[in-house]
Structures are given as structure tokens and as C-alpha cells.
């Protein structure tokens, strides 16, 4: 309530020191820094923006086609097109400083050194409240194995970054691993303030007319409602293992109910990616929907439902989970 | 850019296409030729993304004031659904989007080249050009006569009109590029505006480049957002000096580009998937000596 | 051609010694042994049936709810309910022997020993042309880690089974791993004749009204069109690494085009699971659709398009694949 | 079981429900009370699975011959779509599915207990029972009068009728179980047939068990296939001797079960997820002494 008697529940969330006015942020790569969307979305009614991932050098990205629609989802292979950290500071810096909303800068790189360099250039940018480390990137020093696929590699990046800045770092993980909890734990031990779950699933589609992959890069990342069950499972697994670590959940969220599902699974906040493309106002609607959901139950904050999924009395591990 | 729920005023056949008139005064007010709209498919379908369509007409005056017309070719799931739209249905539309065609004060004679439904935005453009007292020549090409977009109206609107069909069922047999040189010579056009399949745009742009005539092309590339935030709609554009290149967003920096600045080989070629930074950069690609119309 | 001049292409496929009249088989757990469906589907027009997974002991399965519909997919947590291998032989054996269609028996277990025991009981059952090892099961001897998540565990099961029978063994893998190629290679080295890709993705959904997981078992397997891009990617990756090993692709197939997509990616045949639930005749339609597809291109066999996706000239690894 | 494309003959409101009449002669021919159909939702939606509905009427004679009637409560996406069906729409329907109610020759007085739309299949059953010269009593209960299923028709059809609503807007205020004992006593019913929410079925079955009256219940459980191949529709059923149990498929071994054989606690209880083999088995659950009607 506090000062918002008419609205009922407050949407503000605190993630162990980082706060957002609503628990609904824009996901990296799906909102740029917010500038383009400002004309159609009232940015002051969303929780914040996670920027498109920034790399050290300007990156031209992958050849088209860069996207393919799939059942209830889409594949993308943009190749992290961005003007590099200097170009980013120049083009987006002033906007970020003046936007008056919390901005999380997403950083990507091909080596620990690149992540570190970008961190150094970003850490003092006004308006930035946190860094998201997009470690679902290939590591050129490890035969292009994706950082987030190996707890050790992931920890190395997070460790290096966290030594360079006091900004909280959220490690963004991929679900394409055998044990996401192990990667999450390694990141937290290395200094991650929180975790962003999940990045896209690696997928592929082929045009049966031309026999060509539908993506110029052959494979790409699957996002949208199709992946939501996988994302909710990842958030749940990690939240069970690390209940005190802030988790920002994402993957296929497009309605208030979807967002509530992530909060119940253990997320402290959520991000919305693909849904912005077809419904630019969706983050505001989700926020208001969460408020109504809380009001209807006499609750005062999104934190009240965090991790509150009611599990059966006994959940035994050995059961066959599929089929 | 505006998001609005528009009523469908009518849905009529135009040859092989469907022509949808929407009540969208705010979008119609601001629309410029070459811009487009993004139309949402209904919730609950497995097709999530909006579909982009060029603006065929934006009426600001008269009986149709406040309406917007788009033309669609029903090919996939989204367009098939839209082709079924009925009067009074309501659509969720965002627009006007992108940068449209631009006009240079000193270029008085224009040639508009449209392929298939690519003719649609050229009608809107022709009207704007005529309002600026330009001479408007038009070439409309298509596979067959069913796909030549509004030939009768086109003839009324343009000062000169050439029609081509690949099967010879209307106008001259062949492609727009087969008649391009002759038409350029005959009309003395100083600038070319083109919309149609990307391969046609390339051919037109390359011919114009050879002749040193500025050429603006309205391209099509897959668009996840249409709002400038996802970078799916990349078109490789070469620097003004012919050196260096960058992927521009068709949805905000386009869909209209200077045809001589597009690196066609990279864009429409074999599309190798490699780290962009190691891609060979064009030493210098041909570009018109004529004054640049727009980057 | 060969004796089917009117129909054009022949649908028959050979998987290095195992043959099926069409490349479209029923996936395990989605068709039982075919008995229930025989009344509504002409079994002689499908490629074959992979049975519901059989375990050594009768298995009662997990508590309801056992299913939840999700965007373009569904979650299931049946818990491999089955009457155990003895019950299976009694109830399904006579049908399998008389059905006159190729039957692949799917075997599941919680230990290498259980897989071996069932293999011994199944190997002489008339009508059985191959065994599918459903190794997406928890291994009670390894803290309930799923066999298919660890190349060593997977190989152990396949090795033990292949020493007990000359029936070809298909190892059925899960995509929920960091490196599916490594698991595939381990299975093949251990004696797998081929690979079935993929089992369901682990997922979860929560009812926002009741705060309860929508599945009695909390987590379950995601299937249906939603997962198709992930499945195609797995088939492609494994086929690139092991071009001579028969792959049966599955995951979200419901149309001829979907099946062709898997063949182009490198599958030798496909299985259809979830789609049977909403469209029981779908496997016949897919087969006929594949035939039309081949005929239209003057091709004579599904093998003609196997792995024929036209890749770009150079596919460089280090590119950012997501975002 | 038959798969057929059926035309919708009509879609009418019945209180809070929709009543859909379909032209489906082959299914109507074979249908028995308690059986159900699976109706496909349209392609291209993100809801893939068919939706199960009890058969309310299957007309084999007279003006409606060859038609099938189902009753639906629009609650989720699938039912909301179906509630919009119009005359001449075509639906993809599979049926008749499952095992319906059974009749014992020696039990002449029956009591039918329906909750909400659960009343629908009982009308079909009542007609079949009357055709067998049984006495038919009926209790119809619901939350409010809008949800009491066809009370007027019910009164005409049944020999005795009791109506209950939780809000007291029709009949007696309360639940069907509040009037069950008295009605059983009054009608001297020898067998009970029930359909409605699972919790209601449990209450009815437990009361019947106490009184030693056989009770058949038509249950609802999530069904992915409805055809017996997926095992999602599990209902834990105890052995005839009250020992041992197994999960039966509601879609083929049900949806009608002997109410005294369902292990209600396990089925509707806290639903612990544990390896089934280590679940405590019921020592002995109460079951009627009366002759078993059906397993
Ligand atoms: C700026 C612009 C203007 C356009 N103007 C018109 C127009 O005036 N009339 C018209 O008929 N069409 C126009 N198109 C093409 C039109 O957007 C596609 O035909 C349409 O999106 C196909 O959708 P679908 O669901 O029918 O096909 P599907 O193949 O099912 O679509 C799958 C996905 O691919 C995208 N897609 C498929 N083909 C194209 C394409 N050619 N261009 C862009 N995206 C595509 C869809 O938007 C969707 O995201 C335009 C495209 C762009 C980019
Ligand atoms: C044997 C049987 C007979 C039935 N008879 C009737 C009837 O005569 N009239 C009627 O209105 N309803 C009946 N139901 C319930 C009806 O099937 C569900 O209300 C319907 O499936 C809900 O679909 P939805 O898309 O509206 O809801 P959603 O919640 O969107 O459905 C999501 C998924 O859950 C399933 N589901 C949701 N609720 C139920 C439920 N109560 N039972 C089974 N599956 C469910 C759906 O089938 C779907 O797969 C019957 C169910 C069964 C099993
Ligand atoms: C209800 C259900 C039950 C399943 N049971 C099994 C099983 O017993 N053994 C198995 O190997 N896979 C099982 N599967 C997985 C399928 O065989 C298949 O791998 C998966 O569903 C992906 O294919 P689909 O998208 O076509 O369904 C089951 C899937 C479903 C939906
Ligand atoms: C077009 C597109 C571009 C993306 N770019 C990035 C990126 O640059 N960095 C990143 O960490 N994630 C990126 N993502 C992943 C999203 O941030 C998000 O993790 C994922 O899409 C799942 O959420 P969603 O289903 O809501 O889209 C991108 C996703 C899409 C669809
Ligand atoms: S379509 Fe998203 S940036 Fe152009
Ligand atoms: S619903 Fe599939 S077995 Fe009953």
C-alpha cells in the first residue's frame, strides 16, 4: 500500500539491493535500450530495460534470414549486432542517463577479457543499475564452447567482471545444459548478485521448398510461449537450490498469468522478450495484471507470491518424469 | 507511430490480391508513401508475430477520409487469415512505420517500377509526386495479368504506363527490366522508385546505377518487431564513399533505401554464415554519380 | 517405381538392416502397441509402432494430473505406467506377433540390470524388429541422474543390452544435455545400431489459481510442435557428426512438411507422438504427403532427401547463435 | 469408435450451458449413455488437444435421427471456441468413446444424481432405463438455478425429481448429498448413477458404500488422447477383493467406474508425487456388500 492506497498492492520489487518499480523488465535484444519503444510504450510504467547485449567491438551480426516463426515461438540468429561499447556509449548513453528508469546493461563477449573490457567502460554510465552477463556466447579460448555451458567458464567470466565493478551482476544462463543448477551455483560463488533465466533454446528450422535452413546462421535461439514450460522448470530448479539468490525469470511470458507462474516458481522479477514484438504495451498490462492478481488475494507485493508454488507433500526424485 | 484498433471497412479482390480498407484516421494522417503497417494476427494462434504491409492509400480528404488501404497476397497462414477479414472486423494495427520515399525538388521526371503487389505503395507515391507537379511514368510487371496491380487505375494516374507479364497475358511479355532502359530513355526520367520482389529491385537498382540514375527501392525482409528493436530485418548498406558497410534495419532505416547503397551480393547472395567481422568488405561498389537522393 | 508404378516414390526405408514400409512410426507412449488405435487407423499404412516403454516390474505411474496443455505443446508425467515385462508379454505379445507390422519395443529401467532383464525377456518375441532403449530414465545407482544425461551411463546401458541380443538397438536420447553429440557417440561406440531423437524436454507449469504445479509429479516432459525446432537441431547436430548411423527423428511432427524437415536435417525415419492424440490418422497422411513431396520432385525414396539440407558455403562456429 | 466430420445443426443456450446438436449418424447409432466424444479444436491454434464431452442425447429415430447432442460449459479456450460454433460449421469428432453405464436386470429402481452439466448424460441414461421399465428417480444439483441442467425436462422424464442449489435459487438449498439419504429412502433405489464434479461423485459414492448400494460414477480426468494410448487419464481403482490397486484409464476402462472401487484419497487427495511402487496400498477400502454391477 504505502502511498498508493488507490491501487492496492505496490508493484515495486527489491532484488537484494537493486530495485525496480515493477517486476516486469524488457529482455535483452527485444527492446534495444528503450528509445525506439518510447513512442509507443510509457517507459515509466515498466520495471526497467535490459539493453541489447553490447560487445567490445562493433559487431555486424549474421546474414539474413535472421528469424523464423515456429509454432508459438520464433527462432532468431541476429549475431549480437551492436555498435560496440564505444558506439553504444555514444548512441545510447545519453538516453540511458536521461530515461529516468532502471537500465540493466547486457554485456556479451568471446573471451573473459572482452567481458572485462566492456564492464570497465560501462560501470560508470549514469542510469545503469546492474549488469547482465550474457554468457550464452561462444568462448573463443575454449573451442567456441558456450560459457554458460560449463560452470568453470561461466564462473571465470563472472569472477572477472565482479572484481571490476560494484554494480550487481546478473548471470544470464542457458537451459541447454545437463545441470543448470551447477552453472547457477558456480556463477553465484564467483560473485553473481543474481541470475537471469533463461536465454533462448538452441533450435533450427529448414525450408522444405528450398532445402535451406530458415536461418542464415543455420541454428538460432528459440523464444516465445513455446519455451515457457522449460523456462519455468529452470527457474523452479534453481530457486529450490538457491532460495536467497535473486532470479529474474523469462521465456515466453506474454500475460499476467504467465508472469505469476514464474514468480510462483521462485522468480523475484521477470523479463519479457518476444511478446513485445507483437504486443508493445504488454509489459504494462502484465504489471497491472499482477497488481490485480495481488489485490484480489489481499496481498501487497509481488514478493508475497515469490516461490509460493504449493508442492505436493513428497516429491520423490526417482519417478520417471517423461512418458 | 500509433497503435490502434481499426475497423475493417471493406475487403475486396483486386486481381490476385485482396484490398483491405481500414478505418485508421491517426495513421492515415501521418502516413507517407513507402511506409508500412504491422498487423497483429489473433491471439491463441500459433503464429505470434505481426505481419508487415505497405500502405497503398492513406485518405485524408473526401469520402474515404481517415481510411487506410493495404493490399495483400494470401500466401502463408497470416495473410490467409487476413484475406478472410470481413467488414466490421477489428484489427490491431501499428503504423505508420519506417522511412518512406523521398522527393528531390530538382528531379522533375520520375519513373515508378512495381512488381506484383509491389505496385501498391507506388500508387500512393504517384499521387504525392503529382501533387508536387512531377511527371510520373510507371512500369507495372507481374507473372501474369491477374498479378498486375490495378493496371486501369495506374493508366489513369500515370503520365505514361508500361505493363509487362512473364506469360504475356497482359502488356509486353517479359520482365520490368526488359523495358526499363527503353522507358528511361523515352520518359527522360531522372529518378526511379521501385517496389517488388527483392531480386527485381536488385536488377532495377543495378541498371539505374549503370546509367547513373538515382534509384530508391522499398525492400522486404523478415521482421519480428517492425519497431526497430530486434535487428532481424538487416539489410547490408555500404558507406557513402563506397567503403565499409553496416547492417541497417529495414523497419526503421528502411524499408526505402538508396538502391546503389545496398550490398546486394551479401544480402541476397548465398548468405554465408560467418562472423561478420571477417567477411570480405566491398572495395567499392558501383553507385550513381547523380546527386544522392537519400542515404 | 519397383512394383508401385501408380504411386511413384516408394516409402520404404532401410535403416542399415531394419526396414519399415514407410518412414513414419508411432512414438513410444503415444500409441501403446497399436491395439487401441487399430480400430481407427489402418496400421498397415504406417511405418511401424514403437511400444509404450516396458519396465521389469509393473509400474503404476505417477499421480494425476498427468498432463497439462501448453502453447503448441503438452507436458506429461505418466511415470511409465505399464504392466511390467511379464504383463506386457501376456497382454501385448499376441497382438505384436499377429499385427504384421514392424514393432519396436521400447525398454526403460532404473538400473543397467533392469534394462538387461527386460531385454532378455523381449528379444525372442515374434514381430519385434528392434529395441528402443528409453534411457531418459533416472538411474537409481547414480543418484537418480538420467542415464541419457551422461555419456558413460548411457553407454553402460547400451553395452549391456547389445551383448544380450542381436536385435538392433536404438538409443533414445534427451535434448536436455550440454552435448547431445557426445552422448550419441558414446551410445554408438557401445553398440547402438541407431539413435532415436528426441525425448521430451523437461518442463513445468503452475496453476496460478491454486498455486499448484499442473502436474502431480511437479515436472514433466514437453512434447508437440513447440519443441520441433529443438528436435530438428538435435537431429542435425548428430547427423553431421555421425552420418552413417541411422537416426529416427521426432519432436512435434504433425504434417508431411514437418517430417520432411527432419529427413532433410538427417533423419532416416521419423516418429510421431503427440499428433496422434488430436489427429489419429496423421501418420498415414504424413506418409502420403512425403510420397507426394518426392513425386513432385521426381525422387524415388525418402532416402533421397536424407540429410540434404543445403547449408551455406561456410558455417563458422564462433558466431553468436542467439540474440 | 468413429472419426467423422459433423455439421453443427444448432447451438442453443441451456441455462448457463451451450447445447450443441451435431449431425453424426454413425456415432449416434452406436452411442450408449455415459460414453463421450472427443472434439478437435481448429488447426493453427496453440491449443492442440481434443476436448472430451459426454453424450447428452443420441437420436436414432424421429425428426432428430442421426444427431448427437452435447452440452458444454464454456470455461477455457477450447470450450469458449466451441461455444461460438454456428449452424453449418463442421467439427472433427471422434466417438463414441469409453464404457458407459451398465444395467443390472434385477435392479428395478434407479436414482440418477447429476451435478451441473453432469446432468447431461443422465438424461440419455434415464431414457434407456425407462425403455427397460425401470423406475427412475433423479437429483439435479448445482451452484445456482442457471446451472441446474434442464430441470423442466428432467421433471417430465423422471418418476421423481429433487433439485438442489447451493444458493437456494431453485429447489432445496444445499448439495445433492444433503438430500441423497432421504431420496434413497423415499424411492427405495437399488442402484445409483452419478455424474458431476469429482468431489461430488466421491461424496455420493461414499454414502452409497455406507448404505451398501451399488453406485456407478462417470468421472472426469484430463485426457490427452481419449483413445486409450497415453495413460494421462489415470483413476486408481482397487481390486475386487479390496486389496491391491491399479491406475485405470478413464477413457477406455471408464469414464464410468464402480464408485466403491475408486481409491478416492489417492485420486483426489494431495496427490503426492512418489514412486508408485512405494505408495502405501489401501488395506481394505469400504465397498458395498450388494452385488457388483461392474468393475
Ligand atoms: C515492409 C514490408 C512491406 C510489405 N508489404 C506487403 C504488401 O503490401 N502486400 C503483401 O501482400 N505483402 C507485403 N509484405 C510481405 C508480407 O509481410 C508477407 O507476405 C507476410 O508477412 C507473410 O505472412 P504469412 O503469415 O502469410 O506467411 P508465413 O510464411 O507463414 O510467415 C511466416 C513469417 O515470415 C514472415 N514473412 C514471410 N514472408 C515474408 C515476406 N515476403 N516479407 C516479410 N516477412 C515475411 C511473416 O511476417 C512471418 O513472420 C511486406 C513485407 C515487408 C517487410
Ligand atoms: C469424459 C469426460 C466428459 C466430459 N463431459 C463434459 C460435458 O458434457 N460438458 C462439459 O462442459 N464438459 C465436459 N467435460 C469437461 C471438458 O472436457 C472440459 O471442460 C474441457 O476439456 C475444458 O477445455 P477448455 O479448453 O475449455 O479448458 P482449458 O483449461 O483451456 O483446457 C486445457 C486442457 O485441460 C483439459 N481439461 C480442462 N478441464 C478439464 C476437465 N474438467 N476434464 C477433462 N479435461 C479438462 C482440456 O481438455 C485441455 O486438454 C468432460 C470431461 C471428460 C473427461
Ligand atoms: C503422453 C506421452 C507419453 C510418452 N511416453 C513415452 C515412453 O513411455 N517412452 C518414451 O521413450 N517416450 C515417451 N514419450 C515421448 C515420445 O515418444 C516422444 O519422444 C516425444 O513426445 C516427442 O515427440 P512428439 O512431439 O511427436 O510427441 C511420451 C510422450 C507423451 C506425450
Ligand atoms: C530477436 C531476439 C534477440 C535477442 N537478443 C538477445 C541479446 O542480445 N542478449 C541476450 O542476452 N538475450 C537475447 N535474446 C534472448 C531474450 O532476452 C530472452 O532471453 C529470450 O528471448 C526468452 O524470452 P522470451 O521468450 O520472452 O523472448 C534475444 C531474443 C530475441 C527473440
Ligand atoms: S524488424 Fe525488428 S528491428 Fe526491424
Ligand atoms: S486419455 Fe489417453 S489413455 Fe486415456
Closest approach of D45 to chain A, Cα-based (Å): 9
Q: What is the spatial distance between Cα D144 and Cα D151, in angstroms, rounded to a whole number?
A: 12
For A80, which residue in chain C has the nearest alpha carbon? Answer: C323
Nearest to B19 by CA among B8, B34, B32: B8
Is residue A157 one of the residues assigned to a domain? yes
Looking at the DSSP bridge assignments, the partners of residue D57 are D69
Cell, residue D220: 472426469
Q: A209-265 pLDDT, tens per residue?
A: 999 999 999 999 999 999 999 999 999 999 999 999 999 999 999 999 999 999 999
Summary mean pLDDT of chain B = 90
Neighbour order of strands in the sheet with D256-258? D172-173, D160-165, D135-142, D109-115, D191-195, D215-218, D256-258
Smallest CA separation from ligand 1 atom 10, residue: B72
CB contact under 8 A, D46 and A313: no
Cβ atoms within 10 A of the Cβ of A90, count? 11
Spell out the alpha helix ranges (H) of chain C.
84-91, 93-99, 112-122, 151-162, 180-189, 228-241, 256-265, 275-278, 282-296
What's the length of chain A? 323
Residue C254 lies in a domain: yes
Least confident of B207-211, C234-238, C266-270: B207-211
Q: Verify whether residue A137 is a known catalytic residue.
A: yes
In C, minimum Cα distance to B232 occurs at: C323
Does residue B26 contact residue B94 with C-beta atoms inside 8 Å?
Answer: no
User: Could you tell me if the CB of D229 is within 6 A of ligand 6?
Assistant: yes
Which residues of chain C make contact with D223, given a CB cutoff of 8 A? 67
CATH of residue C34's domain is: 3.20.20.70
Nearest ligand 1 atom to alpha carbon B77? 25
Of the partner residues A76, A264, A320, the one whose CB lies closest to the CB of residue C323: A76
Pocket of ligand 2 (CB under 6 A): C 69; D 36, 49, 51-54, 70-73, 75-79, 117, 120, 220-223, 255
CA D265, CA D270: separation in Å to the nearest integer? 8
D105 within 8 A of D178, measured Cβ to Cβ: no
Q: Is the CB of B147 under 6 A from ligand 1?
A: no
pLDDT at D285: 47
What does each of the 295 residues of chain D score in pLDDT, given as a tens digit? Answer: 899 999 999 999 999 999 999 999 999 999 999 999 999 999 999 999 999 999 999 998 887 889 999 999 999 999 999 999 999 999 999 999 999 999 988 889 999 999 999 999 999 999 999 999 999 999 999 999 999 999 999 999 999 999 999 999 999 999 999 999 999 999 999 999 999 999 999 999 999 999 999 999 999 999 999 999 999 999 999 998 888 999 999 999 999 999 999 999 999 975 443 333 334 455 544 443 333 333 3
Check CB contact under 8 Å for A65 and B222.
yes
Task: Identify the three-state secondary structure at position A197.
Answer: strand
Q: What is the mean pLDDT of residues B113-121?
A: 97
**Nearest ligand, measured from the Cα of D250:** 6
Domain count, chain A: 1
Ligand 4 touching residue A76 (CB < 6 A): yes
Residues A143-175 pLDDT 10s: 889 999 999 999 999 999 999 999 999 999 999
| Banded model confidence at residue B238, pLDDT cuts 50, 70, 90 | very high
> Which residue has the CA at smallest separation from atom 52 of ligand 1?
B220
Task: For residue A33, report the distance from its CA to the centre of ligand 4, in Å.
Answer: 13
Helix axes A282-296, A256-265, angle to 10 degrees: 60
Q: What is the pLDDT of residues C34-46, one digit of tens each?
A: 999 999 999 999 9
Decide if pLDDT at B291 tops 50. no
| Total count of residues recorded for chain D | 295
Chain mean position to CA B295: 17
End-to-end C-alpha distance for chain A, whole angstroms: 46
| Helix H or strand E segment including D81 | helix D77-83
Q: Which residues on neighbouring strands pair with residue A139, listed in sequence order?
A: A145
CA–centroid distance, B229 to ligand 5, in Å, is 6
pLDDT at C4 over 90: no
What per-residue confidence (pLDDT) applies to D292? Answer: 37
Range of the domain at C312: 13-321
Inter-chain touch A313–D275, beta carbons under 8 Å: no
Query: How large is the ipTM?
Result: 0.95
Ligand 5 atom nearest B221 alpha carbon: 1
The catalytic residues of C are 137
For residue B88, is pLDDT > 70? yes
Look up the CATH number of domain B99-295.
3.40.50.80
Q: Which residue of A has its CA nearest to C199?
A: A322
Q: In chain D, which among 239-258 make CB contacts under 8 A with chain C? A: 245-247, 252
CB contacts under 8 A, C 270-299 vs A, are 293
- Is A4 part of a structural domain of the chain? no
Work out the average pLDDT over A103-127. 97
DSSP secondary structure code for residue C17 in this structure: T
Cross-strand pairs, D109:
D135
Domain ranges of chain D: 2-97, 99-295
| Selected residue with higher pLDDT from A65 and A323 | A65
Domain covering B2-97 in this structure, CATH number: 2.40.30.10
Taking only Cα atoms into account, the Rg of chain B, rounded to an integer number of angstroms, comes to 19
Note the pLDDT of residue A243. Answer: 97
Rounded CA separation A33/A53 (Å)? 10
**Residue with grid cell 456415432, as numbered in its chain:** D27
Task: Report whether residue A249 contacts ligand 4, using a CB cutoff of 6 Å.
Answer: no
How far is B191 from B55, CA to CA, in rounded Å?
21
- Where residue C211 falls (left for φ over 0; alpha for ψ -120 to 50; beta otherwise) is left
Does a cis peptide bond (omega within 30 degrees of 0) precede residue D255? Answer: yes
- Among the atoms of ligand 4, which is closest to the Cα of residue A134? 11
Contact A208 C293 (CB under 8 A): yes
Which of B56, B163, B178 has its CA nearest to residue B117?
A: B56
* A173 touching C (Cβ < 8 Å): no
Q: Which ligand is nearest to the CA of A81?
A: 4
Burial grade of D188 (CB within 10 A; 0-12, 13-18, 19 or more): exposed
Average pLDDT, chain A: 94
Residues of chain A contacting residue C320, judged by C-beta atoms under 8 Å apart:
59, 62, 78-80, 108, 137-138
Quickly state the pLDDT bin for C6 (edges 50, 70, 90): low
Instruction: Tell me which chains share at least 3 CB pairs under 8 Å with chain A.
Output: B, C, D
Half-sphere exposure of A191 (CA within 13 A, CB side): 18
Each residue of C131-154: pLDDT tens digit? 999 999 888 888 889 999 999 999
Q: Which residues of D touch C61 (CB under 8 A)?
A: 231, 234, 247, 276
Amino acid at each position: 500500500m504505502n502511498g498508493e492506497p488507490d491501487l492496492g498492492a505496490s508493484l515495486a520489487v527489491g532484488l537484494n539491493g537493486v530495485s525496480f518499480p515493477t517486476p516486469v523488465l524488457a529482455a535483452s535484444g527485444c527492446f534495444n535500450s528503450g528509445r525506439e519503444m518510447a513512442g509507443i510504450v510509457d517507459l515509466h510504467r515498466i520495471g526497467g530495460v535490459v539493453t541489447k547485449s553490447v560487445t567490445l567491438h562493433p559487431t555486424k551480426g549474421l546474414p539474413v534470414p535472421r528469424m523464423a516463426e515456429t509454432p508459438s515461438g520464433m527462432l532468431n540468429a541476429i549475431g549480437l549486432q551492436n555498435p560496440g561499447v564505444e558506439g553504444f556509449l555514444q548512441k545510447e548513453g545519453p538516453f540511458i542517463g536521461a530515461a529516468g528508469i532502471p537500465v540493466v546493461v547486457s554485456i556479451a563477449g568471446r573471451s573473459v577479457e572482452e567481458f572485462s573490457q566492456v564492464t570497465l567502460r560501462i560501470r560508470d554510465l549514469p542510469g545503469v543499475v546492474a549488469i547482465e552477463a550474457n554468457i550464452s556466447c561462444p568462448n573463443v579460448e575454449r573451442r567456441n564452447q558456450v560459457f554458460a555451458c560449463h560452470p568453470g567458464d561461466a564462473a571465470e567470466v563472472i569472477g572477472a567482471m565482479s572484481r571490476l565493478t560494484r554494480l550487481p551482476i546478473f548471470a544470464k544462463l542457458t537451459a541447454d545444459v545437463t545441470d543448470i543448477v551447477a552453472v547457477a551455483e558456480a556463477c553465484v560463488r564467483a560473485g553473481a548478485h543474481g541470475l537471469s533465466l533463461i536465454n533462448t533454446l538452441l533450435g533450427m528450422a529448414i525450408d522444405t521448398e528450398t532445402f535451406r535452413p530458415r536461418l542464415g546462421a543455420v541454428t538460432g535461439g528459440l523464444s516465445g510461449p513455446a519455451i515457457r514450460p522449460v523456462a519455468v522448470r529452470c527457474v523452479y530448479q534453481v530457486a529450490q537450490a538457491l532460495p536467497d539468490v535473486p532470479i529474474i525469470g523469462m521465456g515466453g511470458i506474454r500475460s499476467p498469468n504467465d508472469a505469476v507462474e514464474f514468480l510462483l516458481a521462485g522468480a523475484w522479477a521477470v523479463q519479457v522478450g518476444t511478446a513485445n514484438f507483437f504486443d508493445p504495451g504488454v509489459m504494462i498490462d502484465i504489471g497491472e495484471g499482477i497488481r490485480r492478481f495481488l489485490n484480489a488475494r489481499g496481498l501487497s507485493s509481488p514478493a508475497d507470491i515469490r516461490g509460493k508454488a504449493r508442492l505436493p507433500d513428497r516429491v520423490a526424485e526417482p519417478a520417471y518424469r517423461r512418458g | 507511430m500509433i497503435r490502434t484498433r481499426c475497423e475493417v471497412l471493406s475487403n475486396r479482390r483486386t486481381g490476385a490480391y485482396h484490398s483491405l480498407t481500414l478505418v485508421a484516421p491517426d495513421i492515415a494522417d501521418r502516413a507517407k508513401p513507402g511506409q508500412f503497417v504491422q498487423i497483429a494476427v489473433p491471439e491463441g494462434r500459433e503464429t505470434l508475430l505481426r505481419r508487415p504491409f505497405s500502405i497503398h492509400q492513406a485518405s485524408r480528404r473526401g469520402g474515404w477520409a481517415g481510411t487506410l488501404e493495404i493490399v495483400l497476397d494470401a500466401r502463408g497462414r497470416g495473410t490467409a487469415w487476413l484475406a478472410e477479414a470481413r467488414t466490421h472486423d477489428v484489427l490491431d494495427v501499428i503504423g505508420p512505420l519506417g522511412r518512406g520515399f523521398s522527393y528531390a525538388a530538382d528531379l522533375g521526371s520520375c519513373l515508378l517500377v512495381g512488381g506484383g503487389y509491389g505496385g501498391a505503395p507506388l500508387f500512393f507515391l504517384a499521387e504525392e509526386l503529382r501533387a508536387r507537379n512531377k511527371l510520373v511514368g510507371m512500369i507495372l510487371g507481374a507473372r501474369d495479368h491477374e498479378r498486375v496491380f490495378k493496371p486501369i487505375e495506374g493508366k489513369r494516374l500515370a503520365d505514361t504506363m508500361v505493363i509487362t507479364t512473364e506469360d504475356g497475358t497482359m502488356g509486353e511479355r517479359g520482365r520490368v527490366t526488359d523495358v526499363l532502359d527503353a522507358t528511361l530513355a523515352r520518359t527522360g526520367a531522372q529518378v526511379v522508385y521501385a517496389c517488388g520482389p527483392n531480386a527485381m529491385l536488385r536488377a532495377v537498382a543495378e541498371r539505374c546505377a549503370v546509367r547513373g540514375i538515382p534509384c530508391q527501392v522499398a525492400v522486404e525482409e523478415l521482421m519480428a518487431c517492425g519497431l526497430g528493436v530486434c535487428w532481424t530485418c538487416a539489410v547490408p548498406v555500404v558507406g557513402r564513399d563506397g567503403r565499409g558497410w553496416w547492417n541497417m534495419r529495414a523497419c526503421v532505416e528502411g524499408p526505402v533505401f538508396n538502391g546503389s547503397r545496398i550490398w546486394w551480393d551479401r544480402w541476397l547472395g548465398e548468405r554465408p554464415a560467418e562472423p561478420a567481422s571477417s567477411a570480405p568488405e566491398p572495395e567499392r561498389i558501383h553507385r550513381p554519380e547523380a546527386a544522392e537522393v537519400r542515404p
